[in-house]
Each structure stands twice: as C-alpha cells, then as structure tokens.
Homo-oligomer: A and B are copies of this chain.
Amino acid sequence: MLDLIAPLVVPNTTKIVLLSLDGLGGLPRPETGRSELETARLPNLAALAAEAACGRLRHVAPGITPGSGPGHLGLFGYDPLRHQVGRGVLEALGIEFDLRAGDVAARGNFCTVDAAGRITDRRAGRIPTETCVRLTERLRTIRLPGVELFVEPVKEHRFVLVLRQTRRGGALAGRLSETDPQAVGRPPLPVRALAPGARATAERVNRFVAEARRRLRDATPANMVLLRGFDQLPKLPRFPEVFGLGSAAIAAYPMYRGLAKLVGMEVLKTGGTFADEVATLREHWDGYDFFFVHYKDTDKAGEDGDFDAKVDALERLDRFVPAIRDLRPDVLVVTGDHATPSILAAHGWQPVPILLWSRYCGADGVTAFTERTCAAGSLGVLPAHHLMPLVMANALRLTKFGA
C-alpha cells in the first residue's frame, strides 16, 4: 500500500487531524444492553458523525486483538503484519528511552529462583517499583567488552535491557531466543542466536545474565532476571516522507510519543492533560500538515473494567471536539488503536468505530458515533492501514492512478 501511495502524493496546504481515542470501541453492558459509546452523551461527536463518513477499522485481522504498537502502526498506514516491532523495542519506547538504530532492546523481568536455580516466581511477587529501581542500579554497572549496557526500570518487576555497540565492538543483532521458559520449576534458558549473525550478541547477553545472577544472589525475592522480546528498531519507511506531510504527534504518554517518533513524526512538548494537548495543537497549527493527537483516558478506564469511568472519559473528550473543529482542519478523523471493552477489562479484537470528516467524504446515514451505528456506515470495515490513503485522498493530496 505504501509503495502504491508514495508515487501518487502531490503537495497541498490542507491540514489533517488524526484523533486516536485509545481503546475506543466497547461492548454493551449486560444490564442495559448499551455500550460505553451508546451510554455516553456525545452531542459533538454525533454532530460530526452526521456530516462524516463512518465505519469500523480492523487493525490486524478478524479475531486478533492488537497491542498498542500494531494498533498505532496501522493508523499510521503501516500494515502491522508486515512491520512488526519487538516487545523489547516497544518497552524501551514506553519509557522514552533514546533507542538508536542498531541497539538491541529486551524486556526484562526480575524473578525468583530457588537454590537449584529453578524459577519459583516469574515476576518475583511483583516487587514495588522502588525495589526495581534499586536493583537495576546493581545491574547497570555491569561491563562487557564491545557493548554499552543500559538497564532501565519500568514498573514493578519490569525493566528494559539495551545493548549498544561501542566504536570498537562489532554490530549487534536482535534475532535472539528468550530466557523465560514461561513456566516455574525450570531454570532460565540460555539465549540462543536465531540467525547466523547473532552469535556474538547472544554470547554477550549470556555473560550479562551470568553476572546479573551473581549480583542479585542475595536480593530477596528478586534474585534473578528473565529476558524476552529481543529486537532492534525496525527500518520503517518514514511517515513524513512517504505521505509528504509535515507531521507532529501530541501525546501525554511516552509509549505513543515513542511510536510516533519511530515513524519519523516530530513529537511536540505538551502537558499531562487533554486540555494541554489541545492547547499544543492550537499553538502549533501553522507549523505542520498532519497532527496525531492521542487521548489515553478511554483505554485506562476500559483496562480498569470501569464502565462508568469510560463513559465519563468519552463525555470529557466530546467537550473538546468544538475546539478542534474551530481550527478548521480539512480532514478530521476520530478513531482508536484498538477496542478496550470495559466488560473485558482488556484490549479487545472488535473493530473500532471511525468517522472521517472532510468536504469530500460523502456522508452516509449515520448520525451517532457508536459501534452499532458505525457498522452501517459507508466506510464499511476498513483495514487500519488503508485509512491513511483515504485520509490523503480526502486532503486532496493524491493524484490519480493511471491516466
């Protein structure tokens, strides 16, 4: 799709806002038969839906629940099945670690092993984050030839390990097996190279693990580490170049800033609330063609299984819609990166409602923004990575294909 689009891109001065309501889609609460979107009072989104083309986005494939990485890569126009990003890289992006090309990142767990070295708790009883911080300090002074090491705390038992090639070290490779056997009663596995060029990197990681075991020996309960999701930054076509769009990301949460940076968007400094994000949007309106604006509260409430909090998050968002429309974007999209139905208290596989407004969108009969109404919208069920071509067309930024 990107190969098809790139040669068709033509310049224009139109402005695009892609508003991603994290975990947007929901499910009816059994007591009422109405979903979060159907329960919330959303007059501004309803008015926008009435003038927009509506439908549903499918991010990966039927029945597949997207993580935040594939969810957003799809919104940005990348087929998430073709462009996969390892968990180590996503975890590093999530703490806004300055991951560089060639770095190898892994997701780490502190765990508990018995005297024989067998795992007794894969998460070390979910130690407090402060303990995690203290333990990573023990590990980050480990020295290995040819690589620079970073060990960064994340939350509870989770940390990030990053290996960076030094000037004299050879290139690193991310194709490595995991040390987590995914079961208790067994010892951690040694790291194996999964590609011929990864042998030296595997050896270094194994030396890191051996040294970590030594340094954690007396730490209770977190006396060992498990490493998973080794990967390097993927080589993604750069979003601003592919689409010819000066592109800015406005997101209060580091993971989404990291995903935007991954595809080459400029990440704007903003505050911690959505009001701050909208103020940032207004302030930088003249500086960019494309704005990715991220709203987290919908997902947080859904993940907590708090139906009412998700309704409330939607209603709060709705009140910001006029301020965004006042900027007079040429294309305004409201959708999400995946569903997070409150009754699941987790990401869901359900297609996500979408509305796309432009002068040329060809409005359908949909006059409310819900899962059910959008199912009858003119966009139908759209693979998420087909959204950007449609956005570009509506922004009059694509020329025709063939004479």
Contacts and interface: CB of A to CB of B under 8 A. Distances in A.
Q: Which interface residue of A64, A382, A401 has the most chain B CB atoms within 10 A?
A: A401
A334 interface: no
A196 interface: no
Contacts of A380: 380-381
A66 B362 contact: no
Contacts of A400: 64-67, 346-347
Contact of A402 (B33, B63, B84, B364): B84
Interface stretch (A279-287, A304-312, A386-394): A386-394
A69 B344 CA distance: 36
A152 to B, nearest CB: 16
A84 B7 CA distance: 14
Count identical subunits in the complex.
2
Interface string A351-374: 000000001101111000001100
A388 to B, nearest CB: 8
Interface in A252-287: none
A149 interface: no
Interface size class of A (residues with CB under 8 A): 35 or more
A108 interface: no
A81 interface: yes
A282 to B, nearest CB: 26
A362 B398 contact: no
B393 A65 contact: yes
Contact of A372 (B63, B70, B346, B364): B364
A242 B344 CA distance: 24
B401 A60 contact: yes
A28 B84 CA distance: 40
A122 to B, nearest CB: 16
A66 B392 contact: no
5 contacts: A61-B386, A61-B389, A62-B390, A84-B402, A348-B360
Interface of A: 1, 4-5, 8, 27-28, 30, 33, 35, 60-71, 80-81, 84-85, 87, 90-91, 229, 341, 343-344, 346-350, 359-360, 362-365, 371-372, 375-376, 378, 380-382, 386-394, 398-403
